[in-house]
Amino acid sequence: MDYSKDIGLIERVCLRSSLGSYDPYDIWKTAIGRFSKKLYYKNKYLGIIPAATLTLFDLFLNLQTRTFYNHQEYPVVRGQAALTLVHKFRETGNINYLNYAKKHIDWLLENASEGYSGLCWGTGFEIVINADLSYDSNTPFTTNTPYILEALHEYYVLTKDPEISKAIISIYKFYENHIVAMKENDDILITSYGPMNDRIVTNAVSYTMFAYSIFFNYIKEKILIEKKIRKMYTFIREVQQKDGSWLYAPYDKGSFIDCFHSCFVLKNIHKTSKSFKLKDSYQTVKLGYNYLLNSFYDSQSELYKRFSISNKPSLVKYDLYDNAELLQLAKLLGDYGTVLKLESAIQRTFCKGKDVYSNIDLFGFKRNKNTYRWALMPYILAESL
């Protein structure tokens, strides 16, 4: 990849005091968007019309003006920006990167979810999951908090700042006091998505497993932590299908298999296995990675598709999020042939000048320019490795 373009993009985005942006999810954050999603989940035949209308309005009529939407800060964006800058500081020694990483960390410590016994973070907006489950904007998640945790850990490794270790211990208290064991026995542990008895999601358990692999470095109860890690990993292995794939929600009828959530699971197994010897982790990751390469790859575009099994229609043909996460995973696994090919495909498909687009629609048009959460920042993080 062209290094000058890489560092230019990183500096242009990450060396800023504000990281607010629009988001592809903006329409579903509005009151009418949330109502339409709830209606769709209650009755697809009634809900499909308003849902489709809002989708078309957002993609074709409101794409440029972004009427009714505002720039918003997202904790996961700050966490990924901090982690990116720590990576670049380690590579270059440029102290400015480390200073800006600390600025993002300070923002995160000041903007954690409220009302919990330890530090934690969510998406920052209300999410409708189904007809019976919604999360408010303050709800922290096991899929968001680990990004901040990882950034804190990597920053602490470099600086040994005692305030950072205190923050990490605080996050551990959140997990111990608020994350629910949805199912636990002598062999497996299935943890909740949020701080409640909510739902079983494969990638969420993998994130919690990875989080505990970081806690192991800071917490005295090492036997307890290692036991939890191994039990969560056993669950993840048990729900891996014979072809190497994971359903998003392994016990739900009508679940789906998509690219970036699959990458999350593999990434978290790989990172955890660097600290703990997990049974057959190499084979588990290899099987899952081969499934990704074989089931999502589109030879014409040299990109990776959204779904191998879908549960709803979509106007998105290619998504930067999928390809950014696959790029990061390929780098972590040392698959540099895939890295080179995918970097080139991403640049020619999603990038135009200094702008990066998050989606390519079914008609071939670029959509959602410079939307940080989904998925400019995951792409930048991947390029920082």
Please give the structure tokens belonging to residue 185: 């026995």
pLDDT score of 59:
84
- Residue 200 tokens read as 């079983």
DSSP assignment, residue 240?
Answer: S
**CA nearest 375: which of 264, 234, 266, 248?**
264
Task: Please report, for residues 181, 269, 286, 336, the alpha-carbon distance to residue 333 in angstroms, rounded to integers and kept in the order given.
Answer: 31, 11, 9, 9
Calculate the alpha carbon distances from 160 to 155, 157, 163, 239, 252 in Å. Answer: 8, 6, 9, 38, 44
* pTM check: above 0.95: yes
pLDDT of residue 1: 45
Which of 63, 58, 49, 60 lies closest to 29 in space, CA to CA?
58
Architecture of domain 3-30+69-383: Alpha/alpha barrel (1.50)
Residues 227 and 231: their CA atoms lie apart, in Å, by: 6
Long-range contacts of 252-255, Cβ-Cβ distance < 8 Å, separation of 24 or more: 252/199, 252/200, 254/311, 255/309, 255/311
Per-residue pLDDT at 64: 84
CA dihedral 77, 82, 102, 93 (to 10 degrees): -160
**List of residues 6+ apart from 43 with CB closer than 8 A:** none
Strand partners, 309: 257
**Would you state the pLDDT for residue 247?**
98
pLDDT in tens, the chain (385 residues): 454 457 899 999 999 999 999 999 999 999 999 999 999 999 989 999 999 999 999 988 888 889 899 999 999 999 999 999 999 999 999 999 999 999 999 999 999 999 999 999 999 999 999 999 999 999 999 999 999 999 999 999 999 999 999 999 999 999 999 999 999 999 999 999 999 999 999 999 999 999 999 999 999 999 999 999 999 999 999 999 999 999 999 999 999 999 999 999 999 999 999 999 999 999 999 999 999 999 999 999 999 999 999 998 899 999 999 999 999 999 999 999 999 999 999 999 999 999 999 999 999 999 999 999 999 999 999 999 9
Task: Break the chain into its structural domains and give their ranges.
Answer: 3-30+69-383
pLDDT value at position 7? Answer: 85
Cis peptide before 82 (omega within 30 of 0): no
Q: How far apart, in whole angstroms, are the C-alpha atoms of residue 54 and residue 323?
A: 26
What tokens were used for 71?
Answer: 């720039």
